[in-house]
Amino acid sequence: MSAKLNALNSDSYIDVSQYRDQHFKGNRYEQEKLLKQSHTLYVGNLSFYTTEEQVHELFSKSGDVKRIIIGLDKIKKTACGFCFVEYYTRADAEHAMRFINGTRLDDRIIRTDWDAGFKEGRQYGRGKSGGQVRDEYRQDYDPARGGYGKLAQQHPAGESRNSF
Amino acid sequence: MSGTLPVQRRSSSKQEIIDARLLPEKLTVYTTLVGLLNARNYNFGGEFVEAMIRQLKETLKNNLYNEAVYLVRFLSDLVNCHVIAAPSMVAMFENFVSVTQEEDVPQVRSDWFVYVVLSCLPWVGKELYEKKDVEMDRLLSQIEGYLKRRVKTHVPMLQVWTAEKPHPQEEYLDCLWAQIQKLKKDRWQERHILRPYIAFDSVLCEALQHNLPPFTPPGHMPDAQYPMPRVVFRMFDYTDAPEGPVMPGSHSVERFVIEENLHCIIKTHWRERKTCAAQLLSYPGKNKIPLNYHIVEVIFGELFQLPSPPHIDVMYTTLLIELCKLQPGSLPQVLAQATEMLYMRLDTMNTTCIDRLINWFSHHLSNFQFRWSWDDWSDCLTVDLEKPKPKFVKEVLEKSMRLSYHQRIVDIVPPTFSALIPAEPSFIFKYADESASSLPGYAVSITVGNAIKNRASNEEILTILKEVPNPNQEDDDDEGESFNPLKIDVFLQTLLHLAAKSFSHSFSALAKFHEILKTLTDSDEGKLHILKVVYEVWRNHPQMIAVLVDKMIRTQIVDCAAVANWLFSQDMAHEFTRLFIWEILHSTIRKMNKHVQKIQKELEEAKDKLEKQQHKRVTDMDKNSEDEEGQLEEQIERLQEKVESAQSEQKNLFLVIFQRFIMLLTEHLVRCETGSVDISTPWYKNCIERLQQIFLMHHVTIQQYMGTLENLLFTAELDHHILAVYQQFCALQL
């Protein structure tokens, strides 16, 4: 019976995820506090070609968007597949977590997560090659995200890594 | 069931069961449980009923009418479980129906009490008739009399379609009455509701029943907010589900119960789309009904509900996608069938509902690679492009482009649809190249452009702009302070052209040159002209226009009234029926409303603070407290003025909007009358329904200004077509 009753108040789509920003200036407690009050979402798995206009159109469906910051490759200064969306109210951001997270933008399933708040410098990818860390190591071919992952590009499959 | 429950959990389970009222679709499971507990422990039953009555009183006091319906329904089903004696339930119903005899109360009040009684009868009608048929007949007769004399002015405003065919959009009480009448004719035989208590009848019939205490409905309070009337949305009937179980008829009580339960499931689980979809698809008794059709009908019914859907629009899009995922072999087909039907009936669909359909369909398509059989809709190419069908397709393609890009749209539609494809969203720069060199502002535009690129200061730029001649003036005897449309044109066109790359670039530009823009738009004419220029340069990119207007309001470069005047101006008349115009207008009104609410909140907070401070002073006797109080009082005075000023601006905004509507509509009606032409052009339908939309979307705010509106604008001299809209709106809360 109590499982059903938990369903009455369940709102799991707006829960804070396990991810914590390693570069966050402050302790875990402070970061969690900010996440729970945040009006800003991190949006991941974007195509490199997804524009601010497309992000604005989609995310406006859950409320008025205050600001969008497109994530950039640190070296090339071109879009590298993520962005931040800031709303005027927490409630609007929550609706985005419930109804836009896990749906498609530019034919790709995008993922949203709470963000502690945009600070200058956070718009850059943290991967060694300038893009996002996930694009350093992935093995698959994704034409909307620069093709193969950076490591796989340097060591294409089929070439042996060890000389023995 | 209750044999396994430990005795100690009695009191906690009372609370849990009361919480179960929030799962109304499982109502009969919980009433059965209460019945069994009551059979074992008479006192438990008594306490439980008392607790529910207390809760009912609370919900009614707090305007929670929708919750109260479920509480009463729960109580009535407890009659079936031998917890409550039938005669006492009938007595409660009699008290409810007696509200229809009250004088000088809003119709929506008595509506609610009648609705509650009728909506319980599918569950308990049989039992009550078996015990008290004379009283029940009298009750129903009273209800019938009430329904006959009820005023139904509000109905046209709430109907999704204006046509009666194929399914009339019935007023909700009329429909429910017809369903109950049919149920009565069928001798209260109702086969859809799951009734677990039947299996336990041998135990339950031994139980002692309780009498409900006499329940007087609380009197009408002036600040009571009764639920608004509704219209029953139907789009399917038994002919639409090709195979499998038959859809219950529109006046069958089964239809009512299924729809009620599906609405309840959405109400409970809307925040969690996977759970919501799963719960909808596992509806008990689903094998006997065409469940997918019911689900799709209920979801569209909520999405198209007027004045507004119960939940945020995007929830329905995502829920439908979730349902398609869970039933990939059947639901997408039903959804496609529904979309086709909605398209076929666009000609008589309410404009507000068409807006929602456009937004839903384009967003839905963007999740499925825009796959659609557009050729099936090639009939829309053969009529005037202002007609509802081609207009709908055009707007869908425009919205689809916003979620993708221009070439994508070109690729997804057949070449025959090219007239409906939106324009490429490119900037139109007046001073682009040497072909523009004969234009008066050309030279300055180049100079200003270079200055901006070289990071010149505001003073330098203003100096350059002084060179722009003022077409409105003969002599140059002023310091360039008065309204100079050419100056605005040159500066803004050049600036926005440099910043055209993205929204962020344009926002930066507006921020960087905020001072200059404020100076240039100091007058009302200036504000109007800046909007005009924004439109001229970005008329192929309505999305950009909308975000720029939004930014300019928020940074006070223009005000809300200027935006309203601009949208209704002659210059924008050719765009008047396009969706983006109305999105901008409603967004503007919402910003105004939020602004007023924000200052009101600040005022309330300051007042609270003062109260606390005064309290403190009494206890602390502190000189500093006195000073603080004085400061707070000053702050409150300032905020009070701010609130009044904001409300005045808000009232003025609505007056401007309504005045403009009245002017436009009157002009059209007079012209048609003198020319003996039919008034019902596509333009007229759009305009009159847009007027309705203003009332419906902002009814809470507009209620405050009813007096002014009636005295100044919606007077008896007005053409009856226009006045009807106002009267229908008033009828929503009478």
CA B420 to CA B687: how far, in whole Å? 22
A138 C-beta neighbours (distance < 10 Å), count: 16
The predicted structure's pLDDT at residue A151: 87
More confident position, B415 or B22: B415
The predicted structure's pLDDT at residue A162: 53
CATH 1.25.40.180 describes domain B11-205: yes
B393–chain A Cβ distance below 8 A for any pair? no
CA B323 to CA B367: how far, in whole Å? 13
Cβ–Cβ gap B404/A61 under 8 Å: no
For chain B, the average pLDDT equals: 92
Measured at the CA of B213, the angle between CA B211 and CA B219, to 5 degrees, comes to 145
B273–chain A Cβ distance below 8 A for any pair? yes
Question: In B, which residues are within 8 Å of A13 by CB distance?
Answer: 271-273
The predicted structure's pLDDT at residue B13: 60
- Pair B326, B335: CB distance under 8 Å: no
Cβ–Cβ gap B504/A68 under 8 Å: yes
Amino acid, res. B638: R
CATH superfamily for A26-124 is RRM (RNA recognition motif) domain (3.30.70.330)
Classify strands A147-148 and A141-142 as parallel, antiparallel or unpaired: antiparallel
pLDDT of residue B571 exceeding 50, the answer is: yes
Nearest CB neighbour to A99, from listed B269, B318, B402: B318
Distance from CA of A157 to the nearest CA of B (A): 31
- Residue A105 phi/psi, 5-degree rounding, is -135, 125
- Biggest alpha carbon distance in chain A? 62
The predicted structure's pLDDT at residue B8: 36
Residue B386 three-state SS? coil
Question: In B, which residues are within 8 Å of A93 by CB distance?
Answer: none
Nearest CB neighbour to A5, from listed B16, B503, B550: B16
Of A163, A126, A164, A133, which is closest to residue A150 (Cα–Cα)? A133
The predicted structure's pLDDT at residue B4: 39
- Residue A87 phi/psi, 5-degree rounding, is -105, 165
Cβ–Cβ gap B504/A52 under 8 Å: yes
Q: Residue B367's closest chain A neighbor by CA?
A: A104
Cβ–Cβ gap A57/B402 under 8 Å: yes
> Rounded to 10 degrees, what is the CA torsion of B371, B377, B383, B389?
-70
pLDDT confidence bin for B230, thresholds 50/70/90: very high
Judged by CB atoms within 8 Å, which residues 446-505 of B form the interface with A? 502-504
Determine which of A61, A83, A88, A97 to mutate to test the interface with B (most B C-beta atoms within 10 Å).
Answer: A61
- Pair B346, B389: CB distance under 8 Å: yes
Cβ–Cβ gap A56/B543 under 8 Å: yes
pLDDT tens digits, one per residue of B47-101: 999 999 999 999 999 999 988 999 999 999 999 999 999 999 999 999 999 999 9
Nearest CB neighbour to A99, from listed B314, B399, B550: B314
Determine which of A10, A12, A57 to mutate to test the interface with B (most B C-beta atoms within 10 Å).
Answer: A57
Cβ–Cβ gap B404/A54 under 8 Å: yes
Residues of A in CB contact (< 8 Å) with B are 1-2, 4-5, 7-8, 10-14, 51-54, 56-58, 61-62, 64, 68-70, 95, 98-100, 103-107
The predicted structure's pLDDT at residue B165: 86
Question: In B, which residues are within 8 Å of A51 by CB distance?
Answer: 405, 502
The predicted structure's pLDDT at residue B434: 85
Instruction: Measure CA of the first residue to CA of the last residue in chain B; give whole Å.
Output: 47
The predicted structure's pLDDT at residue B436: 86
Question: In B, which residues are within 8 Å of A69 by CB distance?
Answer: 504
The predicted structure's pLDDT at residue B1: 42
Nearest CB neighbour to A11, from listed B272, B544, B587: B272
Query: DSSP characters for B112-128?
Result: HHHHHHHHHHHHHHHHH
B315-318, long-range: CB < 8 A, 24+ apart: B315/A95, B315/A98, B315/A99, B315/B270, B315/B273, B316/B360, B317/A61, B317/A99, B317/B360, B317/B363, B317/B364, B318/A98, B318/A99, B318/A100, B318/A103, B318/B273
Q: Residue B398's closest chain A neighbor by CA?
A: A57
CATH 1.25.40.180 describes domain B585-731: yes
| B77 sits in which H/E element | helix B65-80
Question: In A, which residues are within 8 Å of B5 by CB distance?
Answer: none
The predicted structure's pLDDT at residue B684: 96
Model pTM above 0.90 = yes
B367–chain A Cβ distance below 8 A for any pair? yes
The predicted structure's pLDDT at residue A152: 85
Nearest CB neighbour to B314, from listed A1, A4, A62: A62
CA B5 to CA B474: how far, in whole Å? 94
CA B592 to CA B362: how far, in whole Å? 29
Q: Three-state secondary structure along B417-428?
A: HHHHCCCCCCCC
Determine which of B19, B317, B503 to mutate to test the interface with A (most A C-beta atoms within 10 Å).
Answer: B503
Cβ–Cβ gap B504/A61 under 8 Å: no
Distance from CA of B191 to the nearest CA of A (A): 26
| A113 sits in which H/E element | strand A111-115
Predicted ipTM?
Answer: 0.93
Per-residue pLDDT of chain A (164 residues; tens, 9 = 90+): 444 455 566 899 999 999 999 999 999 999 999 999 999 999 999 999 999 999 999 999 999 999 999 999 999 999 999 999 999 999 999 999 999 999 999 999 999 999 999 999 999 999 999 999 999 999 999 999 999 998 888 877 655 555 44
The predicted structure's pLDDT at residue B12: 56
The predicted structure's pLDDT at residue A3: 45
B583–chain A Cβ distance below 8 A for any pair? no
Determine which of B268, B312, B538 to mutate to test the interface with A (most A C-beta atoms within 10 Å).
Answer: B312
Look-up: residue for tokens 């490429």? Answer: B424
| CA atoms in the 13 A half-sphere facing the CB of B189 | 3
B312–chain A Cβ distance below 8 A for any pair? yes
B614-620, long-range: CB < 8 A, 24+ apart: none
Residue B89 three-state SS? helix
Cβ–Cβ gap B314/A53 under 8 Å: no
B403–chain A Cβ distance below 8 A for any pair? yes
pLDDT tens digits, one per residue of B147-199: 999 999 999 999 999 998 899 999 999 999 999 999 999 999 998 999 999 99
CA B261 to CA B256: how far, in whole Å? 9
CA B716 to CA B170: how far, in whole Å? 29
Residue ranges per domain, chain B? 11-205, 251-420, 434-470+483-558, 585-731
Distance from CA of A53 to the nearest CA of B (A): 7
Multiple choice CATH, B434-470+483-558, 1.25.40.180, 1.20.210.10, 1.10.3720.10, 3.40.50.720: 1.25.40.180
CA A102 to CA B318: how far, in whole Å? 9
Q: Residue A91's closest chain B neighbor by CA?
A: B312
Nearest CB neighbour to B272, from listed A12, A56, A95: A12
CATH 1.25.40.180 describes domain B251-420: yes
- What per-residue string of b and e applies to B163-198 under the rule 16 or more CB within 10 Å gives b? eeeebbbbbbbbbbbbbbeebbeeebebebbebbbe
Question: In A, which residues are within 8 Å of B356 by CB distance?
Answer: none
pLDDT of residue B282 exceeding 60, the answer is: yes
Of B198, B25, B229, which is closest to residue B126 (Cα–Cα)? B198
Query: DSSP characters for A25-85?
Result: SS-HHHHHHHHHH--EEEEES--TT--HHHHHHHHGGGS-EEEEEEEE-TTT-SEEEEEEE
Distance from CA of A33 to the nearest CA of B (A): 23
Residues forming a β-bridge with A69? A84
B142–chain A Cβ distance below 8 A for any pair? no
Q: Residue A12's closest chain B neighbor by CA?
A: B272
Cβ–Cβ gap A52/B321 under 8 Å: no
The predicted structure's pLDDT at residue B9: 44
